[in-house]
Structures are given as structure tokens and as C-alpha cells.
Amino acid sequence: MAWKESGIILGAQHLFKGIETIIEQIDVIAGKSAAPVWQKPSTWINVLGGAALIILPRVKRLPATLDTLLTVGGSYMTTKVWDIIEQAMAAPAPAAVRFVPAIPVYTPPTPVAAETAPTPVAVEAAETAPTF
């Protein structure tokens, strides 16, 4: 491969990375940044646009430099398919489990009515009282 072809391939990848970044701003504008990857407009623009860039030089005769540039760029853009596959296969993250010990609720003791004990005098009187 000549330096020219290497430069075209390298340049195409960098160029289309920039284009991909610009396309992803559509998600921000549409409010779909947090949506799953298959619901983002940028995903479909990248995949379908990339496929079109690959097919275009096959259908229409273009100069070799432009053919290579579009084919490499389109190929790069279609790698968004892997993002869809990775997100579809990813297991949902388990919810964080945190141990929170039960906090005992303080209940003040309830006052108990004190039984009145007989006074010593009354006890003595009862003991010394004659029984009939």
C-alpha cells in the first residue's frame, strides 16, 4: 500500500470520527442522550448513512481517492452496529444493596401503679387483734 492510500484511510477515519461526533449532537438536541442506543437518531444516521457511503461508490463510478475515502468512512460509521449489540447483550446492572440496620424505637417505660403496702402499724394491729 502506498503512502497515499494509507493517508486516505487514516484521514477518512479521523474525518468520519468528527462527523460521528457531530451527528451525536442530534441526540442532545432531540433530548435522546440517555435513551437506549437503538432509540437514538445518531445510531440510525450512522448505520444507514454508513451503508449508503459504502454502496454509493459501487453504484456510481467515482475517482479512486473518493471511492476509498467514502468506503472507509462508511465502514467506520457502520461500526455503530456493535454499540447496539453490546447494549442489547449487556445484563442489567444489579441494584445496589445497602445494609441499613433497624433503629430501635425508644419507648419510655409506662408507670405502674404502686400497690399500697399496709403500714407496719396496721400489720401489727391485725396480728394482735383478737379473733373470734
pLDDT (tens digit per residue) in 93-119? 666 667 777 788 888 888 777 666 656
Q: Specify if 127 maps to a domain.
A: no
Instruction: Give the long-range contacts of residues 121-127, CB within 8 A, separation 24 or more.
Output: none
Report the pLDDT value the prediction gives residue 42, as an integer from 0 to 100. 92
Report d(CA 41, CA 34) in Å as an integer: 12
Report how many domains make up the chain: 1
| Model confidence, pTM | 0.61
Q: What is the pLDDT of residue 111?
A: 78
* Residue 99 included in any domain: no
Domain that holds residue 59: 3-89
Residue 38: predicted pLDDT: 84
Residue 73 has pLDDT above 60, yes or no: yes
Task: Encode pLDDT of 3-26 as tens digits.
Answer: 888 999 999 999 999 999 999 999
Q: What would the mean pLDDT of 18-38 be, rounded to a whole number?
A: 91
In this prediction, residue 132 carries a pLDDT of 59
Task: State the Rg of the chain over Cα.
Answer: 42
pLDDT greater at residue 52 or residue 107: 52
Q: Is residue 67 part of a domain?
A: yes
Is the residue at 83 inside a domain?
yes
Q: Has residue 63 been placed in a domain? A: yes
CB 46 within 8 A of CB 24: no
Whether residue 128 is contained in a domain is answered as no
Which pLDDT belongs to residue 129? 56
* Domain-located, residue 94: no
In a domain, 97, yes or no: no
Closest CA to 73 of 120, 13, 130, 4: 13
The DSSP output letter for 90 is S
Residue 123: pLDDT over 70:
no
For 41, counting Cβ atoms within 10 Å of its Cβ (0-12 exposed, 13-18 middle, 19+ buried), the class is: middle
Cβ contacts of 124 within 8 Å, gap of 6 or more: none
